């Protein structure tokens, strides 16, 4: 069950004076169960790319294959695709609408036409997965804190049991603790259930620790596509497109320049500490 993007182009506002190419010739292949980070500056096309993956936006040209099937094919069931590819939008808490959290989470599975028991079972499971405490289940979603609202909204998508989960800036506007908690839970989801996960972000620091692969977007095209360590090697080019490598990359490069034999590919603070200690012979 892989996703293949074949020369995908997308133009916003075609035939108007404001036409902008949001995606240019994007070719990608994403195997099952991978944790992918899509990184880019504002307006680089990362959110546009995310919305193509579940068919919300239709490519101006090019093809997308999900599980070997062309999603733009004549008889392709888009509704089914959307239940298999879950998309959590930026600030997903803005889509909550029900009277209580539990009913809101039920909305997705209910739309799939499942029977009531199954719907409620899934909703309960999803709420547990995002770590929302039981006593909040029957509160109004508007009474929750920002972080709790976001969890509830993510649960709303998880309850549909998607095979692929796309999260568009899931940590935007959260404090560092809320951010780490959400990211850790997402990582847990991937390792435990084998979901393919796309994490859209503008911050390398956020994703470096968790993802298997980083796709760097710039002006609608793929600039780099590799494992984090390899991508961060291009930290100078990343700066040119308004991004930055994690801070440890800079420190390690500085240390290396000054003659300390460290491994500059370390991406997390833990790895960096290890290589520095190793270089110091301790």
Partner 1 sequence: MLRDITLGQYYQTDSVIHRLDPRVKLGGTLLYIISLFFFSNPLGYLAAAVFLGIVIKLSRVPFRFMVRGMRAILFLMLITVVFNLFLTPGREIVSFWKLTITVEGVWTAVTIAVRLAMLIIGSSIMTLTTTPNNLTDGMEKMLRPLRVFKVPVHEVAMMMSIALRFIPLLMEETDKIMKAQIARGADFESGNIIKRAKALVPLLVPLFVSAFRRANDLAMAMESRCYRGGEGRTKMKPLVYQRRDRVAYLCLALYLAVSITVGRLVWLWI
Residues that bind partner 1 (CB under 8 A): 13, 17-18, 51, 54, 56, 79, 82-83, 86-87, 89, 92, 94-97, 107-108, 110-112, 142, 156-157, 160
> Which CB, 160 or 272, lies closer to partner 1?
160
Strand partners, 136: none
Nearest distance from C-beta of residue 173 to partner 1, angstroms: 13
Instruction: Give the residue among 141, 80, 65 at the shortest CA–CA distance from 106.
Output: 141
Give the Cα separation of 183 and 201 in Å (integer): 12
Least distance from partner 1 to the Cβ atom of residue 219, Å: 21
Tell me how far, at minimum, the Cβ of 94 lies from partner 1, in Å.
6
Neighbours of 253 (CB within 10 A): 17
Query: Given the complex with partner 1, which of 139 and 221 has the nearer CB atom?
Result: 139
Q: Cβ contacts of residue 114 below 8 Å, gap of 6+? A: 122
DSSP state of 131: T
Nearer to partner 1, 36 or 164 (CB): 164
State the nearest-atom distance from the C-beta of 126 to partner 1, in Å.
Answer: 12
Nearer to partner 1, 108 or 246 (CB): 108
Q: How far is CA 231 from CA 102, 220, 254, 260, 266, in A?
A: 41, 18, 17, 22, 11
């Amino acid at each position: 069950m892989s996703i293949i993007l074949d020369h995908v182009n997308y133009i916003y506002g075609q035939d108007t004076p404001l036409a902008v190419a949001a995606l240019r010739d994007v070719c990608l292949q994403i195997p099952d169960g991978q944790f992918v980070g899509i990184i880019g500056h504002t307006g680089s096309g990362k959110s546009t790319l995310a919305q193509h993956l579940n068919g919300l936006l239709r490519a101006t040209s090019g093809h997308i294959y999900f599980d070997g099937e062309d999603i733009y094919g004549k008889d392709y069931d888009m509704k089914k695709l959307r239940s298999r590819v879950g998309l959590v939008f930026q600030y997903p808490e803005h889509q909550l609408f029900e009277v209580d959290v539990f009913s809101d989470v039920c909305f997705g599975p209910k739309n799939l036409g499942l029977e009531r028991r199954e719907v409620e079972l899934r909703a309960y499971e999803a709420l547990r997965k995002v770590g929302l405490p039981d006593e909040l289940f029957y509160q109004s979603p508007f009474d929750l804190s920002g972080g709790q609202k976001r969890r509830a909204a993510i649960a709303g998508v998880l309850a549909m049991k998607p095979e692929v989960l796309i999260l568009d800036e899931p940590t935007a506007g959260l404090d560092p603790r809320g951010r780490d908690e959400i990211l850790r839970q997402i990582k847990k989801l991937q390792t435990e259930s084998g979901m393919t996960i796309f994490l859209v972000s503008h911050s390398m620091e956020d994703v470096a620790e968790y993802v298997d692969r980083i796709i760097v977007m710039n002006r609608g095209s793929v600039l780099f596509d590799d494992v984090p360590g390899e991508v961060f090697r291009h930290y100078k080019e990343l700066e040119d497109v308004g991004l930055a490598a994690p801070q440890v990359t800079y420190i390690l490069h500085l240390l290396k320049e000054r003659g300390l034999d460290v491994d500059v590919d370390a991406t997390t603070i833990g790895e960096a500490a290890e290589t520095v200690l190793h270089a110091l012979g301790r």
